[in-house]
Amino acid sequence: MRAYVAESFGTFWLVLGGCGSAVLAAAFPDVGIGLLGVSLAFGLTVLTMAYAIGHISGCHLNPAVSIGLCVGGRFPAAKLLPYIVAQVVGAVVAGGVLYVIASGQSGFDVAAGFASNGYGAHSPGGYTLVAALVIEVVMTMMFLLVILGATDSRAPQGMAPIAIGLCLTLIHLVSIPVTNTSVNPARSTGVAVYVGDWAVSQLWLFWVAPIVGAVLGAVVYRYLGNGDD
């Protein structure tokens, strides 16, 4: 139970810190943090939580990561559903807290996006469904490769949170213009439920693509990491 609660708190922090930076600080007049700042915010949430709860729950914070770790032989299937539920609950609670904060500003309009992920007309750069699908699959696949490699017993000890946090930062730097970056179904769900409408109707992609990418990443690492030649 402590692991499930830790996953909820960790995912809460990821959504509040990452999506909160996008909603509250990205375009703040004159001193907005922009795309780079939002990318760093997401990476820092994972890095800080990895040190805070990694020894309690493994700090997945992401249903796709949990599934990928399961496929990669690092996580028991029996714990998969409770982890995913805990992550989604933490994300939705964080979305609610962020909504309360953001709505305290005059002129706030949740329909403007609220850091939701999207494609087509709802992609920041107007990218198509196919482009969104490809980038989410590929970025999540690489994320799992880094996670599995950095947490391998043969890797330098104690450095995994830094590698994983920086990897997530890099992923956001590349893919924010395409989908607003998901690679995490819980993160997408946590804000989409408050936007409703198009954000919910496009949410399927941000469950399917990250999970497919995570499974591919796990399969690739099982080959790379377990081979004798």
pLDDT digits (tens, 9 = 90+) for 118-170: 999 999 999 999 999 999 999 999 999 999 999 998 888 889 999 999 999 99
Q: What is the pLDDT of residues 53-104, one digit of tens each?
A: 999 999 999 999 999 999 999 999 999 999 999 999 999 999 999 999 999 9
The count of structural domains within the chain is 1
Q: Which pLDDT score, from 0 to 100, does residue 229 have?
A: 43
List the CATH number of the domain containing 120: 1.20.1080.10
Residue 17 lies in domain: 2-226
Query: Which one, of 109, 119, 101, lies nearest residue 188 by Cα?
Result: 119
